[in-house]
Amino acid sequence: MKIKWRVVFIFVSVMLVGMYISCSDSLDKTTSFNKLMRVEYSDCTGCLECISDFSCPEGAIKIDERTQRVYIDADMCTQCMDCINLFNCPDDAFTTLPDKIAPASIGQIVAISDSIGKLNLQFTTTGDDSTYGRAYRYELILEDQDGQFIQNDFEIPVPLSAGNQETWMLYDLPENDTITVQIQAFDEVELSSGITSETVVIMGEIIDEEPPSAVTDLAINSISMNSFTLNWTAVGDDGMDGTAEFYIVKIHTEEITEQNWDSIPEYEQTLNPLPSGNSEALIITGLESETDYFAAIKAVDEAQNNSLISNITQATTTEIPDTIPPSAIDDLLAAPTDLEINLSWTAPGDDGNEGTAFSYEIRKSTEEITEENWSNAELLEDPPLPQPAGTQQFYTAEELGFGITYYFGIKAFDENQNVSPLSNIPSAALLEDNIPPATITNLEVIEGYAINLSTIKIRWTAPGDDGDEGTASSYEIRYAFDPIDESNWDDATVFADPPDPEPAGTIQNCNVTGLEAATIYYFAIKAYDNNNNVNEVSNSPGGKLVYQINTAACQNCNHCIYDCPIGAIHQGPGYKYIDPDVCDACGICTCPYGLIFRVVVAY
């Protein structure tokens, strides 16, 4: 029995010596102590030199076709150690040390279902070892509200490197069902993160069963020998809410009822309904003179729900030709803004100030408009349809130039082309925009993993065109070796590719490229509006591209501290760390655990 315990003691001692050698000496001396060869997934860059420049005697080194990285087939490996003793991996990815660091749990999952049966998932990727490297695979589980698994054809992609945004789109999910989404990350040795879950309701088809309200104020105006105008108040899509899809209009010489509605031909028209509560007008033509006509209308929504029949209105066409023109408009007003000039007036009638006119002609000129030069003035497009006499009407003149005075005039026509006299002639010029975008005060350098040693990402809140209203026209981003203010703005370097402004209040980002590593850069930004008004220079945060150690996972093995030629690596309480103020980003330092990364440090 004593002999057995001595054997156990000797075996444990040998194992401890092997572990000490593996942490403090070269790997070619660990042959007799290690029995498991593998490739550290997060360190391998897929250079494939281990296949092209080195031939495993057992053919155990193979390519992962998903990621084009290599792995060792454990069933074929004989632990000959040639891949460590006879081959120098440029990524130092071959190891006999076990992978003990699992991927970190994925943070919050943003789950949005804004289309029928579809689900958009967004989250920030985790790593192979905690939040570093790239996980090997994901596992996605979908459960319904009863805890039953939901099958889906979504193909889970290969994980992106840690810190990137993953966006997945899933289709054909159960409509109007509350589902739970669970995502878990695994590394190449099947160490797993915690499960991150989110609950979301999948959008389903909404059945519209509510019809528009019935029109109750249908009236006939502007009666002539072969036409008249129908006027009414627009109803909604659902009752009096929203906008109907189209109208069904019926004109007949006999009274119209629900009983004979389907037998009466529909009057052909293309009127697009206005939002509920607005005044509608439709000119009915092709009528016989001295004839009694009845009119009725139904509104239809996009789900083909029909309203009840409107009130029935009746009129008799005339025999005497219409020779009375609309009255002249005498209260035309022109109200300018910095972008457009808004016209307003009181509608005349079909005959003087009675009824409803047929159409308008609106013209503008840089000279005062008279009857003599009326035809030379520019005809403006898409004037509004005349409303019943006495109604306030509006029109917006656009595509105007600054510093120019414009004159406006309007004439009204009836259905027989009787034309009113020329209106009064108001004038106006665009207002000058003197309000710049609001000054940006929250510009910041985003710390953390750097995509390369020449790019720093900055972030800010978008201002508006006028202060914090609207959308600015453009950004100017500059950087320098010292904090930037108005005194040295012109001396700072201009970044050539800033993003386009988003609406005020939007969070915006920009990757500033072309930078040097180990150099503190300070950034600042200005915003311009469409009139070249510019705000004051923003605050000026700094950032530096250096290398840092993942201190949370550091094995405190001393490899890196002897690599640094300038003494930037120091001993912390149980871990090593790199002083960012000293680091010159030379890249000489190495870690057998792959825990040294390029990062951005804010100043």
Check pLDDT > 70 for residue 162: yes
Distance from C-alpha of 513 to C-alpha of 524, rounded to nearest angstrom: 15
The better pLDDT of the pair 148, 82 is held by: 148
Q: Which residues pair with 103 in a beta bridge?
A: 130
Pair type for strands 427-428 and 493-494: unpaired
What's the helix, strand, coil split of the chain in %, to 5?
A: 10, 30, 60
Beta-carbon contacts of 73 under 8 Å, excluding residues fewer than 6 positions away, are 60, 61, 62
Tell me how far apart the alpha carbons of residues 164 and 132 are, in angstroms, rounded to a whole number.
Answer: 11
Percent of the chain past pLDDT 70, that is, above it, reads 94
Written as six digits, the tokens of 586 are 């030379």
Distances (CA, A) of 598 to 13, 255, 561: 39, 84, 17
Using only C-alpha atoms, the chain has a radius of gyration, in whole angstroms, of 39
392-449 per-position pLDDT tens digit: 999 999 999 888 999 999 999 998 899 999 999 999 999 888 899 999 999 999 999 9
Task: Specify the pLDDT at position 64.
Answer: 81
Over residues 520-568, the pLDDT tens digits come to 999 999 999 988 899 999 999 999 999 999 988 999 988 888 888 898 9
Residue 30 is predicted with a pLDDT of 28
Residue 589 has pLDDT above 60, yes or no: yes
Report whether 234 contacts 391 (CB < 8 A): no
Question: How many angstroms separate the CA atoms of 144 and 174, rounded?
Answer: 9
Which domains, ranges and CATH numbers included, belong to the chain? 2-95 (3.30.70.20), 110-201 (2.60.40.10), 219-316 (2.60.40.10), 333-428 (2.60.40.10), 434-603 (2.60.40.10)
Structure tokens at 547: 């290398």
User: How many angstroms separate the CA atoms of 84 and 509, rounded?
Assistant: 44
Question: Rounded to 5 degrees, what are φ and ψ at 360?
Answer: -120, 155
Highest-confidence segment of 51-55, 94-98, 339-343: 339-343
Burial class of residue 183 in the structure, from the number of CB atoms within 10 Å of its CB (0-12 exposed, 13-18 middle, 19+ buried): buried
Taking a C-beta distance cutoff of 8 angstroms, is the pair 452, 516 a contact? Answer: no
Task: Yes or no: say if 478 and 514 are a contact pair by the CB < 8 Å rule.
Answer: no
Closest CA to 172 of 148, 149, 153: 153
d(C-alpha 603, C-alpha 583), whole Å: 14
Q: Within 10 Å of residue 9's Cβ, how many Cβ atoms?
A: 10
- Confidence (pLDDT) at 36: 65
Tell me the DSSP string of 324-343. PPBPPP---EEEE-SS-EEE
The arithmetic mean of pLDDT across residues 331-360, rounded, is: 95
Q: What's the chain's average pLDDT? A: 88
Q: What is the pLDDT of residues 269-282, one digit of tens each?
A: 999 999 999 999 99
Q: Which of 307, 304, 234 is nearest to 271 (CA)?
A: 234
CB within 8 Å of 91: residues ≥ 6 apart: 43, 44, 45, 47
Q: What is the pLDDT of residue 75?
A: 75
- What is the C-alpha to C-alpha distance for residues 68 and 73, in angstroms, rounded to an integer? 15
Q: Are the beta carbons of 237 and 332 closer than 8 angstroms?
A: no
Q: Measured between alpha carbons, how far is 549 from 558 in angstroms, rounded to an integer?
A: 12
pLDDT(289) > 70: yes
Tokens of 128: 């192979």
Closest alpha carbon to 337 in 403, 429, 408, 405: 429
Structure tokens belonging to residue 73: 């087939």
